[in-house]
Amino acid sequence: MHRDDIDTPAVLIDLDIVDANLRRAQDYADAHGLRLRPHVKTHKLPRLARAQMALGAVGVTCQKLSEAEAMADGGITDIFLPYNILGPRKLDRLAALHGRVTLSVTADSAVTVAGYAGRLADPARPLTVLVECDTGAGRCGVQTPDEALALARLIAAAPGLCFGGLMAYPPRAGLAQTQDWLAAAIAALGAAGLPPEVVSIGGTPDMERAHEIAAATEQRPGTYVYNDRMQMAWGHGTPADCAMAVLATVVSRPTPDRAILDAGSKALAADPAPVPGHGQIVEYPGAIVATLSEEHGAVDLSACARRPEIGERVHVIPNHACVVTNLFDEVHLMRGDRVEEVARVTSRGRLT
Amino acid sequence: MHRDDIDTPAVLIDLDIVDANLRRAQDYADAHGLRLRPHVKTHKLPRLARAQMALGAVGVTCQKLSEAEAMADGGITDIFLPYNILGPRKLDRLAALHGRVTLSVTADSAVTVAGYAGRLADPARPLTVLVECDTGAGRCGVQTPDEALALARLIAAAPGLCFGGLMAYPPRAGLAQTQDWLAAAIAALGAAGLPPEVVSIGGTPDMERAHEIAAATEQRPGTYVYNDRMQMAWGHGTPADCAMAVLATVVSRPTPDRAILDAGSKALAADPAPVPGHGQIVEYPGAIVATLSEEHGAVDLSACARRPEIGERVHVIPNHACVVTNLFDEVHLMRGDRVEEVARVTSRGRLT
């Protein structure tokens, strides 16, 4: 199939750009002695996860059990699930997954640890549990190195569990504070006889500054596989590094300054970027995707000398690639103008 | 299945509230002599579309061909698709759909009309085309009553097409200006011998003021079936009228003021509401769903006297019901605490 034969709206993935993005990330990790464990939430495609592994990744990161199960089905054998998995249904699924792949998870509370210990209590096959640390991002995680030590002790003492180390999602521009936090925790753990084997950090925007967190042994970037408008605004990548575009058609030109695309919030998602607008139109850099309703994107053309006609097709770099992946049943993997594969997006729409 | 057996995150639909919402809308339309043509984008469920028809709706409204095809598959026989359908692939599908159901569409340009006339030119079975009018919403639509007349003439003159009337999506709090606009267009059309049979208006927030647009013959509300936080902020409904909730689990309580839910932007969507926050937690009215990352919702509990524990499950009324429907493969249709049906959401993830 040719690009011209794809109906809109559709997600197009430029595999040549993906290849370059994956290579660059692995080269960076190798150069700095960091293990790379890419987050697959961005693509949800076993094919790309296998490509990441083939380049040297030590495993993958998933954010939901359903994502991890899909990756195991797709042949991935080492999965890190940095999430507090709670409740009997999910713990049963976690136990089943633990029987299939090399699995590690996180906890930030005694409740979560007790759940793991209660359902996965096989000393012959211990489950590796890392302590999630909030170094400033304000999401999950223990709040102090002392709390990290206390939880590590709890994990280490639980039959069937193995303390695996520390995991953090550093806040943007929070590398120094993350390093200080983790260094203090590592010192406390070392003094207690629990030196962490893995210290895992995440995030694409600062991925090429990960070496500034000297404590880290592993990084988990996700969005770098495609990049997007949000990452560019944060300083990571240029349009030439953006592998994902939403192909859309101009369905209306109600006024000289307005174009309407057949891609709205159900195709581009409403996630804001640090810059105004809901996407960047490759063919019309001066255009602003000003407002989204569900199935329409309203484009402000007032800054454009050249303007699109009704029926014209354009490529929109979305604000946030990961959530766009989650909106489509399938994506078109492109080599130039040729569709190499129409790939089904695994585990989208299954949120547990 | 019982409510307690549903894993999270999940969408729950209270059928008793749905029944009341549907009844109230039909009663309003009947009382004011308006035909009701509900928009199915909110639920994407043939079951609920059939319930709307059984109460007296004259047909349904769909926003995408894929939605219309799913409704035809589900037994709906009268479908209005108020969209500029462009391009050979979609026009072929439109022609096929036209052979199956009573179909009407819109156009706001000569390009769109030419497409319909070129592909659906069967004088024995003309396609009904309404003119989309921009009465202030700033999306698609002709800009003036004169433009509406010119396009109506074009449609009426095209073999195989039938001019069906006018369609508008009034801006919020724009009833008077919409009435003036449509009245002027109706006068011009009448003088030209093209009186519009249907004058269709849309939107839930002002749905019970539709009679203020005296020109309207038909209304197309969608969100009223479930309601949401956005509609409440605009003055339509209370929490007791909200049929949709995202069931979520508290997976972390990192600080006294913070809870983390297992529902982020991939479950609640990032669409903003006119009030701060990303959802309303039924069990904790003082809590604010302050930030969403993809798989986590961070809740500010500082205004709450009582606070949830790790593992506790809560119901979140989302900002925008329609986009939440689009994120899940299935929804749980509830009678009280009992799951009456786990219904597959049709046409989600298929955006063409």
Yes or no: say if A160 and A122 are a contact pair by the CB < 8 Å rule. Answer: yes
pLDDT at site B42? 97
- Return phi, psi of residue A22, to 5°: -65, -45
> Looking at the partner chain, which of B249, B270, B271 has a beta carbon nearest the beta carbon of A86?
B249
Tell me the CA distances in angstroms from B83 to A314, B101, B141, B221, one per residue in order.
19, 17, 10, 16
Yes or no: say if B158 and B105 are a contact pair by the CB < 8 Å rule. Answer: no
pLDDT at site A171? 93
Residue B157 CB burial class (10 angstroms; 0-12, 13-18, ≥19): exposed
Residues 6+ apart with CB under 8 A from B96: none
Q: Which residues in chain A have their CB less than 8 angstroms from residue B168's CB?
A: none
Rounded CA gap, A152 and A199, in Å? 13
Rounded CA gap, A349 and A328, in Å? 9
Of B159, B155, B158, which Cα lies nearest the Cα of B167?
Answer: B155
Touching check for B105 and chain A: CB below 8 Å? Answer: no
Instruction: Report the SS3 class of residue B41.
Output: helix
Percent of chain B scoring above 70 in pLDDT: 100
Of A263, A304, A305, which Cα lies nearest the Cα of A287?
Answer: A304
Instruction: Report the SS3 class of residue B259.
Output: strand
Q: Which of B64, B116, B266, B268 to mutate to test the interface with A (most CBs of A within 10 A)?
A: B266
Residues 6+ apart with CB under 8 A from B211: B32, B34
pLDDT at site B348? 85
Tokens matching residue B18: 């749905």
Touching check for A296 and chain B: CB below 8 Å? Answer: yes
Of B241, B336, B311, B310, which Cα lies nearest the Cα of B280?
Answer: B241
Q: Give the HSE-up count for residue A33: Cα atoms under 13 Å, Cβ half-sphere.
A: 9
Question: In chain B, which residue's Cα lies nearest the Cα of A351?
Answer: B9
Touching check for A218 and chain B: CB below 8 Å? Answer: no
Residue whose pair of structure tokens reads 């309203």 in the numeric block = A298
Of A21, A6, A201, which Cα lies nearest the Cα of B351?
Answer: A6
Q: What angle do CA B271, B299, B266 make, to 5 degrees?
A: 40
Query: In whole angstroms, what separates CA A275 from the centre of its chain?
Result: 21
CB crowding B110-127: b at 16 or more within 10 Å, else e? ebbbebbbebbeeeeebb
Rounded CA gap, B256 and B10, in Å? 26
Tell me which amino acid residue A67 is.
Answer: E
Question: In chain A, which residue's Cα lies nearest the Cα of B298?
Answer: A139
> Looking at the partner chain, which of A86, A249, A329 has a beta carbon nearest the beta carbon of B349?
A329
Residue whose pair of structure tokens reads 């309303």 in the numeric block = B280
Tell me which amino acid residue B173 is.
Answer: A
- Please list the ranges in chain A whose pLDDT falls under 70: none
Cβ of A41 within 8 Å of Cβ of B111? The answer is no
Q: Which of A12, A85, A109, A266 to mutate to test the interface with B (most CBs of B within 10 A)?
A: A266
Rounded CA gap, A18 and B27, in Å? 55
Residues 6+ apart with CB under 8 A from A347: A44, A64, A66, A67, A69, A70
pLDDT at site A85? 98
Rounded CA gap, B49 and B80, in Å? 13
DSSP 8-class letter at A11: E
Helices and strands (H and E) in chain A: how many: 10, 17
The region that residue B141 occupies, defined by phi over 0 for left and psi between -120 and 50 for alpha, beta otherwise, is left
The region that residue A296 occupies, defined by phi over 0 for left and psi between -120 and 50 for alpha, beta otherwise, is beta
What is the enclosing helix (H) or strand (E) of A188? helix A175-191
Q: State pLDDT tens for residues B5-59.
A: 999 999 999 999 999 999 999 999 999 999 999 999 999 999 999 999 999 999 9
- Please list the ranges in chain B whose pLDDT falls under 70: none
* Three-state SS sequence of A326-344: CCCCEEEEEECCEEEEEEE
Residues 6+ apart with CB under 8 A from B335: B15, B16
Question: In chain B, which residue's Cα lies nearest the Cα of A5?
Answer: B89
Residues 6+ apart with CB under 8 A from A144: none
Query: In whole angstroms, what separates CA A83 from the centre of its chain?
Result: 13
Q: Which residues in chain B have their CB less than 8 angstroms from residue A251's CB?
A: 83-84, 86, 112, 140
Pairing label, strands B244-255, B313-318: antiparallel
- Return phi, psi of residue A4, to 5°: -65, -15
- Structural domains present in chain B: 3-9+230-344 (2.40.37.20), 16-225 (3.20.20.10)
Touching check for A238 and chain B: CB below 8 Å? Answer: no
The region that residue A56 occupies, defined by phi over 0 for left and psi between -120 and 50 for alpha, beta otherwise, is left
Q: Which residues in chain B have their CB less than 8 angstroms from residue A140's CB?
A: 251-252, 254, 260, 296
DSSP result, B113-134: HHHHHHH---TTSPEEEEEEE-
